[in-house]
A and B are shown apart, each in its own frame.
Chain A
Amino acid sequence: MAVIQVEHLVKDYKIAKKGKGLKGAVKNLITNEKQVIHAVRDLNFEIEKGEIVAFIGPNGAGKSTTVKMMSGILTPTSGQVLINGKNSQKNRKEVVQDLGVVFGQRSQLNWDLRLGESFELLRHIYQIDKKQYEENLEIMNDILGINEIINTPVRQLSLGQRMRGDLVAAMLHSPSVLFLDEPTIGLDVDGKYAIRKFIKEINQVKGTTVILTTHDLGDIQELCERLIIINHGVLIEDGPLNELIDRIAPYKNLIVEFYDETCVKHPKAELFFHEENIGKYRFMKKDITAAQLIQEISEQIAIKDVTIEEATIDDIIRIAYHKE
């Protein structure tokens, strides 16, 4: 059974429509015009146990809104989210006990307390068994080096340290589902590396299902087998990263450097550029492999050098965003 089921999820926000200028200001005092914003429109998907899913989309696409609804902070306008078969609104207390949530831009640690005291408080809140608590801390210390900062007041932590603290805080009660909203935002290379390693590790060791939103394509490449892309509150892509790449960019470019200006054509590749001794071929991955193409060209003419160009993940996602 799927760990997370999202069914016909819809979220509309009502915001007050403000008139412009003096006339508008006076009008605002009397009437209260509301404007409806459709943040999420009819989302449907399922996430299986142990998956790491990247939830991506441009700014304002409805990612955070969806994550908030999945984690039970936000009430959907209609539709529902089931976590382990339970409705995240109706059985909030039960569902929440099995969720870990990290919002990259908001810390859930108490600023007045030392990091360790924040953890201890969470141990009491989630009723974590003392032995299991210490075991969990131990495992997480191995990956994140949390012991170095455990006695520092949260307000004195750097962003990277705080993020590590937040991750530990979210995983202390061994939830089966972990939501991460932009976990690597603003972090340096080391920080990102530690956090990615941590996510991979808990996924493998504990089988935690991870859903993360991110704008960092490195996160996606390193962590996620599955990608869900939404834009304007609508699901536009859902599938493995490789499949998406194959579908959006089913071609590669082969750039060949010859010894002179003569060049050959090939039936399975389009020669779309030819200048001096450089020729560029575009070929479909399903028609021919790069090795074969190189071999067949070199049978006809001597080749000095080759480069293979592939669409980067950036390109793929940009194309996906703009696709309607």
Chain B
Amino acid sequence: MNRARGSAYFYVYKTRILKSLAYRFDVYGNIVMQCITMFASAFFWKALYAGQETVQGVNVEDMLVYTVMSSLMSVVFMTGIERRVMQSVKKGTVATDMLKPINLFSIYFFEDLGNMTALIVQNMIPIFIIGSLCIAVPKPVSMEAFLLFFISLIMAFFINWFLAACFSMWTFTAINMDPMLQVKKHLIRLLSGSIIPMWFFPDWLSNILNLLPFVYIYQLPLDIYIGKYETAELLPRLGIQFIWTVVLFGVFQFLQSRVTKKVMVQGG
């Protein structure tokens, strides 16, 4: 991205924030949906922990913080790129969009970034307040943990976005992506530890999942946040997270050039 084109991306980012702030109705729906999941999980954990001090070294307070934070994080991980690509393929505007002297997927990225910024204001803050009042105040265990969490969260954001972007390339070969989108969404929810942490899974399964990128979206940042691991234990995990970020970026770049070529050979 050269400096001059940056202004275009910034403009996309800015207008997207303003547009997202204008759609009130979506926002209330989202908050309600997130709160339902959050409360259901919280009640579930409270019932499960009845009479138990700790499970797998985690006490009920930490588990509730985990739940609230997981709901807050899900706001950051909403992506619109799949739908955007789907629409432009259906309307047949991909080819003309690619004609502009600017990278189409970078535009989508900044749209999502703008969306996210608006959602942080509109969704994250209300969910934070409701969660803090009714369930648990999500305090990090330490300042250090919070910083590491933040670094991990940024990588998690990229892993999640690159996954979505790679997934969106499928749209160029399949016609109706809606069911697949649902499958992907729930698969990530399940495999990433956003609802049930890995440590409740059988060892063999969590060992496998630790090698896949999904746990590095929710579970790792959350583990850091509640202080599940010592710093020394965390570093190799952050290493794997970083590797996944780079690998998925590579895959995304590869697919992007393939799709561009395909569109250019077969027509939009």
Contacts and interface: CB of A to CB of B under 8 A. Distances in A.
Interface of A: 13, 65, 68, 71-75, 93, 96-97, 99, 101, 103, 105-108, 112-113, 117, 120-121, 124-127
16 contacts: A65-B267, A68-B268, A73-B96, A75-B261, A96-B101, A97-B101, A105-B92, A106-B91, A106-B96, A113-B15, A120-B11, A121-B15, A124-B5, A125-B5, A127-B4, A127-B5
Interface string B74-102: 00000000000000000111011111111
B8 interface: yes
Given A96-B101, A106-B91, A75 B264 contact: yes
Nearest to A94: B101
Contact of A75 (B11, B99, B102, B265): B265
A96 B98 CA distance: 10
B91 A68 contact: no
Nearest to A121: B11
A121 B8 contact: yes
Interface string B235-265: 0000000000000000000000000010011
A125 B101 contact: yes
Contacts of A105: 92
B157 to A, nearest CB: 23
Contact of A93 (B19, B97, B101): B101
B99 A71 contact: yes
B264 to A, nearest CB: 5
B15 A96 contact: no
A61 B19 CA distance: 42
B266 interface: yes
A101 B261 CA distance: 20
A120 B11 CA distance: 8
Contacts of B97: 108
Contacts of A106: 91-93, 96
Contacts of A107: 93
A125 B96 contact: no
B12 interface: yes
B95 A124 contact: no
B52 interface: no
Given A96-B99, A113-B19, A126-B101, 12 more contacts: A68-B267, A68-B268, A72-B99, A74-B265, A96-B100, A101-B96, A113-B15, A124-B11, A125-B8, A125-B101, A127-B5, A127-B7
B7 A124 contact: yes
Interface of B: 4-5, 7-8, 10-12, 15, 19, 91-93, 95-102, 261, 264-268
Contact of A73 (B12, B101, B268): B268
A73 B11 contact: no
A73 B95 contact: yes
A101 B267 CA distance: 15
B98 A73 contact: yes
B146 to A, nearest CB: 36
Contacts of B268: 68, 73
A208 B19 CA distance: 36
Contacts of A99: 99
A41 to B, nearest CB: 17
A73 to B, nearest CB: 5
Contacts of A127: 4-5, 7
Nearest to A126: B101
A165 B11 CA distance: 20
Contacts of A125: 5, 8, 100-102
A117 B15 contact: yes
Contacts of A65: 267
Nearest to A74: B267
Nearest to B95: A73
A68 B8 contact: no
3 closest A-B pairs by beta carbon, nearest first, are: A124-B8, A73-B95, A75-B264
Contacts of B12: 121
Contacts of A112: 19
A163 to B, nearest CB: 14
A108 B101 contact: no
Contacts of B95: 68, 73-74
A162 to B, nearest CB: 13
A154 B60 CA distance: 52
